[in-house]
């Protein structure tokens, strides 16, 4: 399925001292990507449900909440309550991803799963019907500003084929190292949605960076 590329700036790269303004600065984006890190699943800490709720109040854009946390099943309700549009959890962090997806969908929230670079996608293709999004990590989760791993695009191609063959409505999103130099190859491999942190907030005009990324992903 060919859709208009979805650009999701990651506020992990924003200036936290003025988060409201930083979110407003990308009002031309499609989603806001909210990276939740617990210092256990990944070595870094970011923010939690209260900050997510504050971001939700400061924008009308859908919040794409990426949980890089252990035991996500214990926490999803907090992010549903905080106003998430989609909650993405890691398959490496939970024993029953399908049960968690059902919990999310029955709460009226979109369900997504993510795979770290070292995790193969094939064992998870059978559960695609239960999900709205798949987030392919193109860096090791935990930090912004890392280099894009092009070998992860093989997973995107596998997903694209599976989704198209089965006629599913599942968005393929990619996260990590997406910039003007890398977004076109991710789009060509079949991604629908693109997370960008430093390539948006590291630029003098984040809004202009969003437009440029969208243009490059559309070609």
The binding site for ligand DX5 (CB under 6 A) comprises 10, 12-13, 33, 35, 66, 139, 141-146, 175-178, 195-199
Tell how far CA 179 is from the center of its chain: 15
Say whether 175 is catalytic.
Answer: yes
Catalytic residue among 35, 38, 64, 132: 35
Catalytic residue among 30, 38, 64, 175: 175
> How many other C-beta atoms are found inside a 10 Å radius of the C-beta of residue 72?
24
8 Å CB contact between 182 and 194: no
Say whether 35 is catalytic.
Answer: yes
Site for Zn ion in 154-193 (CB under 5 A): 175
- We find the least distance from the C-beta atom of residue 157 to ligand DX5, in angstroms, to be 21
Q: Positive or negative CA dihedral for 113, 114, 115, 120?
A: positive
Site for Zn ion in 40-79 (CB under 5 A): 66
> How many other C-beta atoms are found inside a 10 Å radius of the C-beta of residue 148?
19
Interacting residues of 56 by C-beta distance below 8 A, sequence separation 6+:
63, 82, 83, 84
Choice between 197 and 206, CB closer to ligand DX5: 197
Choice between 116 and 214, CB closer to Zn ion: 116
- We find the least distance from the C-beta atom of residue 167 to ligand DX5, in angstroms, to be 29
Pairwise CA distance, residues 142 & 44, whole Å: 6
Catalytic positions are 35, 175
Residues near Zn ion (CB under 5 A): 35, 66, 175
């Amino acid at each position: 399925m060919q859709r208009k590329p979805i650009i999701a700036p990651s506020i992990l790269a924003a200036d936290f001292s003025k988060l409201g303004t930083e979110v407003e600065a990308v009002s031309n984006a499609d989603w806001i990507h909210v990276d939740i890190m617990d210092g256990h699943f990944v070595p870094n800490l970011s923010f939690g449900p209260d900050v997510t709720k504050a971001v939700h109040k400061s924008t009308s854009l859908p919040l794409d909440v990426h949980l890089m946390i252990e035991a996500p099943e214990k926490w999803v309700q907090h992010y549903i309550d905080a106003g998430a549009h989609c909650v993405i959890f890691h398959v490496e962090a939970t024993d029953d991803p399908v049960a968690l997806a059902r919990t999310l969908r029955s709460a009226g929230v979109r369900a997504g799963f993510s795979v770290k670079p070292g995790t193969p996608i094939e064992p998870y293709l059978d559960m695609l019907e239960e999900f709205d999004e798949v987030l392919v990590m193109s860096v090791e989760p935990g930090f912004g500003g890392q280099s894009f791993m092009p070998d992860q695009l093989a997973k995107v191609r596998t997903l694209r084929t599976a989704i198209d063959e089965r006629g599913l409505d599942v968005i393929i999103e990619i996260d990590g190292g997406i910039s003007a130099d890398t977004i076109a190859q991710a789009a060509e491999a079949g991604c629908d949605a693109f997370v960008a942190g430093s390539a948006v907030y590291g630029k003098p005009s984040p809004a202009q960076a969003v437009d440029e990324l969208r243009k490059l992903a559309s070609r």
